[in-house]
Amino acid sequence: MKNQNLIVLILVIFCVFGCNKNDRKNILESTTSISEKIKNISKNTVENIIAVKDSIAKTILPKNIKNHKTGTAEESVAKDSTETGTLDNEKLKGFSYFKKLLLTCKTGETLTQKELIEEHNIPKEGVKLIKSITKTAEDEIDIKWKSTWFVEKISDAKFTDARMKIKFEANKMYTSGKAIGIEYNKKIYNNLIIVGNLAYIPSVKGYHWKIGK
Q: Which long-range contacts (CB under 8 A, 24 or more apart) does 14-22 make?
A: none
Q: What is the tally of structural domains in the chain?
A: 2
Tell me the average pLDDT across 165-190. 91
Same domain (yes/no): 36, 101 = no
Same domain (yes/no): 15, 31 = yes
Same domain (yes/no): 27, 81 = no
Of the pLDDT bands very low, low, confident and very high (cuts 50, 70, 90), residue 123 is confident
Give the span between the Cα atoms of 183 and 176, in whole angstroms.
14
Which residues on neighbouring strands pair with residue 132, listed in sequence order? 112, 144
The residue range of the domain holding 179 is: 65-211
Same domain (yes/no): 27, 75 = no
Same domain (yes/no): 77, 44 = no
How buried is 153 (Cβ within 10 angstroms: 0-12 exposed, 13-18 middle, 19+ buried)?
exposed
pLDDT of residue 9: 43
Of the pLDDT bands very low, low, confident and very high (cuts 50, 70, 90), residue 121 is confident
Same domain (yes/no): 12, 39 = yes
Instruction: Give the residue from 37, 59, 81 where a domain finishes.
Output: 59
Instruction: Give the residue from 10, 34, 59 where a domain finishes.
Output: 59
Same domain (yes/no): 81, 165 = yes
Same domain (yes/no): 136, 176 = yes
Same domain (yes/no): 88, 23 = no
Instruction: Give the residue from 24, 43, 59 where a domain finishes.
Output: 59
Rounded to whole angstroms, the maximal C-alpha distance in the chain is 93
Strands 192-195 and 198-200: antiparallel
Is the pTM higher than 0.75? The answer reads no
Give the span between the Cα atoms of 109 and 130, in whole angstroms.
15
